Chain A
Amino acid sequence: MAGNNPNSTPMNLTLKVWRQKNANTPGQLVTYKVNEISPDMSFLEMFDVLNEDLLRQGQEPIAFDHDCREGICGMCSMYINGRAHGPEKGTTTCQLHMRKFKDGDTIVVEPWRANAFTVHKDLSVDRSALDRIQQAGGYVSVNTGGVPDANEIPIPKSIADKAFDAATCIQCGACVAACKNASAMLFLSAKVSQLAMLPQGKVERKTRVENMLAQHDAEGFGSCTNIGSCAAECPVGISLENIAMLNREYIMAKATSDNIG
């Protein structure tokens, strides 16, 4: 890959990082120098080094979201040099290694941008709009009774695999961040298709897609124009086929559901 730093020579980099005090104050890009960065560090570890420097200098460290640091939690949300989660395909920011950059590089780091998301502070972004979409129908209701036996409901392997692929969505919001329209359709479609494919989820499939899309629109996300930036930037490889399935689900639900309101 271009820009790889194969040896382990430490790098000196220039960072332009978005600093913003809180949601109500305008922010700006601030330039920092980081020195002696090991190519084996992750992007977040590089930020840890920078924050320690800032603390030593008595400055406010940069706020950024992170948790598991192994690509599962979906918290780390940085727009790096114009790409969600940086230049490498199929990774989150925490899985991005500094060896993907060259000594002397200037790296611009911005928070996810969408009106449905709010910048808490610096690079830390409130993505609870995605939670509200999920809460609008991204579940299977089990109202009563004991736990059913495992494998009681037969599910073909191919369907189970597809549903699992959709279920790998970590709700990181990279699809929204990368989408020219700030649409959350890839996220929404992963959640809708995951459940619509499984017998347990089929029961509520119509109300689910109707309510979840209504919530998506109410949150102020844009609409999908089939550009494909979302799938290209998705760290877990959610496919555009899910958006086609979402469209099918929506058409079928609107045509046949009991909801006439």
Chain B
Amino acid sequence: MSWFTKALSSTIGRKLLVAITGLFLCSFLVVHLIGNLQLFSNDEGVAFNAYTYFMTHNPLIRAMEIILLIGFVLHIYEAWTLSRRNQSARSVKYAVNKLEENSAWSSRNMGLLGTVIFIFLLVHLYNFYFKLKFGELGLDAAGNKNLYAITIEAFSHWWYVALYVISMIALALHLIHGFQSAFQTLGLNHKKYTPAIKAFGYFFSIVVCAGFAAMPLYFFFLY
């Protein structure tokens, strides 16, 4: 192994990769949320479908899609590898262990939260991305593939809405620990900035996840 791969497969190296990819995925969440806000525009989905057309045909976006996939794969693979190492670092467990008295639940259950998000991601990709790419979709008034109609259909089922809301709660908890944790991993901990980073991370997690959760709720209750 070269010094580079050795560095990245150490315990610090792996979590650096988790942190960098994690922050990158946060940037994806922002773009995805802002784009999808067009679901709320009252135009029978014309703007949203035009946006969908742009996102699936712009070469820059297509290239980013591959980088995004690599980001997801790296984030999951490195976190999974570290989790396995960490689980095997203590074979004999404590009979009594009160971790709840010294740490936050979400920080200790990032793997569990991540798994919920991963399962959600598979369902989400199947229902929208897969159908958009390979399914038979009708066209809207402007002649674009009508993904908006698929969205309305999906969010008319209560269990589908429930899955989305629960997953967004899991994502919020994942981000509340993950966002500020990434800065700590990158070595950025300073009494001037860390309180602000933590506060922003909290705000970011709640706002982004509430924004996403509002979409299924909107279509189920108000549309």
Contacts and interface: CB of A to CB of B under 8 A. Distances in A.
A18 B92 CA distance: 12
Interface in A217-241: 217, 220-229, 232-233, 240-241
Interface residues of A, number: 51
Interface string B174-215: 000100010011111110000000000000000000000000
A86 to B, nearest CB: 11
B176 to A, nearest CB: 12
A236 to B, nearest CB: 16
A254 B7 contact: yes
A115 B91 contact: yes
Label chain A's interface by main secondary structure.
mixed
B94 interface: yes
B86 A181 contact: yes
Contact of B11 (A222, A228, A249): A222
A36 to B, nearest CB: 25
Nearest to B187: A248
B96 A108 contact: yes
Given A183-B86, A227-B107, A260-B2, A233 B11 contact: no
B90 A222 contact: yes
A220 B89 contact: yes
Contacts of B98: 81-83
Interface string B1-34: 0110011001111111000000000000000000
Interface of A: 16, 18, 29, 79, 81-83, 87, 108, 110, 113-116, 178, 180-183, 185, 213-214, 216-217, 220-229, 232-233, 240-241, 243-251, 254, 259-261
Given A225-B181, A250-B10, A261-B3, 4 more contacts: A213-B11, A216-B11, A222-B11, A222-B86
